[in-house]
Amino acid sequence: MAISVDPPEVNREMLSQAGYSFTFLSDPNTEAIRRYDLVHAGQGIDGQDVARPAEFLLDSTGTVRWANLTDNYWVRARPEQIIQAANALPQTR
């Protein structure tokens, strides 16, 4: 799942163009983004607040088990890093 400050129609177009198949949520007022302390203040177009680059792995109870937070939009976890982190998590039944 992803969350963005972009409105739903912008997200739908991006998903369509990129071929993503996961859920993409819109939070144009940054309500959820602020709730989770993920605001990247002034880093959007015309100094707009946007979501800070972040990736999370959650368990089946919603507990965050791994997080990757950056201040640079271009720096993201590589798929191999996420797979390695997922494989290192305790298995739940």
92 pLDDT band, cuts 50/70/90, is low
Judged by DSSP in three states, 29 sits in: coil
The C-alpha atoms of residue 63 and residue 20 are separated, in whole angstroms, by 25
Residues 41 and 64 in one domain: no
Check pLDDT > 90 for residue 8. Answer: yes
Per DSSP, helices labelled H in 4-45 are 8-18, 31-35
Give residue 47's domain range. Answer: 1-52
* Overall domain count for the chain: 2
Residues 10 and 39 in one domain: yes
What is the model's pLDDT at position 70? 83
CB atoms within 10 A of CB 11: 19
Residues 48 and 64 in one domain: no
pTM of the model: 0.68
The C-alpha atoms of residue 14 and residue 54 are separated, in whole angstroms, by 19
> For the residues 66-90, what does the mean pLDDT come to?
87
> For the residues 30-59, what does the mean pLDDT come to?
87
